[in-house]
Chain A
């Protein structure tokens, strides 16, 4: 066999491996594959460990890709030992944080009966409790959600832009002057611009929130569509799952389905305190929650330690610009926030809102927009 033929063969094997990594769900593009082949040629395609590290650096784009990459690598090149491999435990935690065993389903509390208002059917739908709707009514509701508009909250940016008034822009004034041959001309001004503030949505997907899950995701999708670069969405249950990427799809139904696949713990238990801790430790503290509007969509049924929840909420409050809690039971007849979880969390919450019907969801959007 000639040298070129064997080189060609090695490239084919490596390219096929890259394709397998892509098939496993890692977004491997053509240029990444090309970079991988070039890297292997330099680092040594015969050295399995070198191929492993080269592939990880060229085919993967983030920490979340490593697990998929590893399993494909093991399957593809199994049979021989890889010497130095990074322990995986800390990596898995980041993508999907396991919060321990699922607790029992806390979804057995009494649902207060909802008094139906007599008005036009859309208006009725707007105020109906989503939990007691028929599938037909929910489909109708999906359309209403698609009609919701959201204007992201703004923050002052460090960037400045020319404006009629403001601080004197020396750079622009001098450049103007230069253009006139050094003759002093009129002063130019600039001022700080505004940018959309980050919104972080945490959706409780435990059993007790089951009837609302669909609507809460749609609600988060409305925010996501309005400000895709500045919105992050997580679900909390027995695990903390980042579903931002899934919800970025423009189409509501597709986004919902993608999110459904991404979340492994629908209708399980909740340990809000632990989930909040996981969120703050792994994402919030690093900057995701800093200066952001954090929205928690939960009924506040805490099966774990309420002291922990209180502590984590205080931490969150120190990091975030505003903490908004949307509770499906708030605003229903006979509801009072007396559950231990809510009591522990309330001092650290800026707005405590209802979220069980279209009208209340609209209002919650307004509160977030004005935060």
Chain B
């Protein structure tokens, strides 16, 4: 069994880079350095970048590379502490209370004991953040923090500063080892400065062509090398166009390669590319524009 108090020791930036690349997640120097610092300094890592550049995938990669469980909290509008932190299982508490009432003999009411048993661990519903604090070392992914509102951010700030949570009826839960926290944001809203100051900040860029080919080959080892290269090249050409509503990210490159493979195509030609364009381009305007110039994009 893994020692529950130990995050696997990562000795250097190169070491982390190495471990991540073994899981199929390829970083660049900047990202590897920042991720290493996040581990070494016990600081949350705030990742921003275009959709599909691998922000969420980094958390998954870290969890795999360090052999730690991944706990994910997807933020949404109106998320609050009872969805992120903990809740009491009221229905079961009442059932418990009724049972105590029915089985007790008159005159031996142990008020303190009953009260204590009511707020027992087994009635506590641990939501992602509480689970992360209790089960740490883990990787805690707080995805799309920009979708949550300001109140939630303030609450998060408190948890991320102390890695502890106080439940009035129960007590304080403190993480023995601080969890590795990755926050992602699509910048639909500027994250509050106070929260940013707690975090290490990194902006993830689209990868260079050679790295993208490498990513496809690592993530999808069954895709023929020629196809991997063609798909990566075509996507990076699409990305270079400035008339697309939504330029494709790495996630779309991988989807495209998977789609081609699923159809049993070994090479990306005009016909198969047109048929699978929906895997890369998600807007009608984009598809129309690209379809007209598909031969140029595939050429070379």
The residues of A with any CB-CB pair to B shorter than 8 Å are 27, 29, 31-32, 35, 38-39, 42-43, 49-50, 53-54, 56-58, 60-63, 66, 83-84, 86-87, 90-91, 157-160, 170-171, 174-175, 177-178, 181-182, 195, 229, 281, 285-288, 290, 311, 315
B299 interfacial by beta-carbon distance below 8 Å: no
A287 pairs with B186, CB closer than 8 A? yes
Chain A nearest CB: distance from B257 CB in Å? 24
User: Which chain B residue has the least Cβ–Cβ distance from A284?
Assistant: B188
Contacts of A86 in B (CB 8 A): 28, 30, 205
Q: Determine which of B30, B76, B186 lies in contact with A286 in the assembled complex, contact meaning CB atoms within 8 Å.
A: B186
Contacts of A57 in B (CB 8 A): 33-34, 37, 200-202
Q: Determine which of B41, B90, B197, B245 lies in contact with A29 in the assembled complex, contact meaning CB atoms within 8 Å.
A: B197
Subset of 7 A-B contacts with CB under 8 Å: A27-B193, A50-B33, A57-B201, A171-B82, A171-B87, A174-B93, A290-B188
Chain B nearest CB: distance from A293 CB in Å? 16
Interface range on chain B: under 10, 10 to 19, 20 to 34, or 35 or more?
35 or more
Q: Which 3 A-B pairs have the closest CB atoms?
A: A287-B188, A158-B78, A174-B90
A39 pairs with B37, CB closer than 8 A? yes
Chain B nearest CB: distance from A68 CB in Å? 14
B13 pairs with A43, CB closer than 8 A? yes
B190 interfacial by beta-carbon distance below 8 Å: yes
A39 pairs with B97, CB closer than 8 A? no
The interface residues of chain A, by DSSP majority, are classed as helix
A170 to B203, CA, bound (A): 42
* Given A43-B33, A84-B30, A86-B205, CB of A170 within 8 Å of CB of B90: yes
Q: Determine which of B88, B91, B196 lies in contact with A61 in the assembled complex, contact meaning CB atoms within 8 Å.
A: B196
B13 pairs with A158, CB closer than 8 A? no
User: Which chain B residue has the least Cβ–Cβ distance from A287?
Assistant: B188
A182 pairs with B203, CB closer than 8 A? no
Q: Determine which of A27, A29, A177 lies in contact with B94 in the assembled complex, contact meaning CB atoms within 8 Å.
A: A177
A159 pairs with B80, CB closer than 8 A? yes
Contacts of B78 in A (CB 8 A): 157-160
* Given A29-B197, A61-B196, A287-B186, CB of A171 within 8 Å of CB of B34: no
B30 pairs with A38, CB closer than 8 A? no
